[in-house]
Amino acid sequence: MTLDLWPIVVPIIISVILSLAAAAVVSRSAASPAQQAYIASLQGRLAVVEDERDDAQLRLPKLEARIVALEERVRELQEHIAAKDREIARLYRRLEHDEETMRHG
């Protein structure tokens, strides 16, 4: 099982890139201090998104390994429960047999 963050990260990156492109076009026509600050802000936002994406990609293998371990533990517990259920059923059959023997004996 893989955790795929691309459906979340890609639209964000695309929107930031488009904003940067639009800001660059505007800045070429009239580069005021406010526009330069806006561009710097967008570039900073893009850097943050890329850092978060990189952090998420670094965590993915650990999370995938943890999921595999938890799935294995669940399987073991389910097998244990099934064994206990079989044991309980066997004991009930034995009890019923002993009760039947006592009634007729």
Q: What is the per-residue DSSP string for the chain?
A: -----HHHHHHHHHHHHHHHHHHHHHHHH---HHHHHHHHHHHHHHHHHHHHHHHHHHHHHHHHHHHHHHHHHHHHHHHHHHHHHHHHHHHHHHHHHHHHHHHH-
Contacts for 63 with CB less than 8 Å, ≥ 6 apart = 3
Instruction: Judge whether residue 2 has pLDDT over 60.
Output: no
Report domain extents, the chain: 6-104
- State the pTM of this model: 0.51
Q: What is the pLDDT of residues 45-86, one digit of tens each?
A: 888 888 888 888 898 899 999 999 999 999 999 999 999 999
pLDDT of residue 74: 96
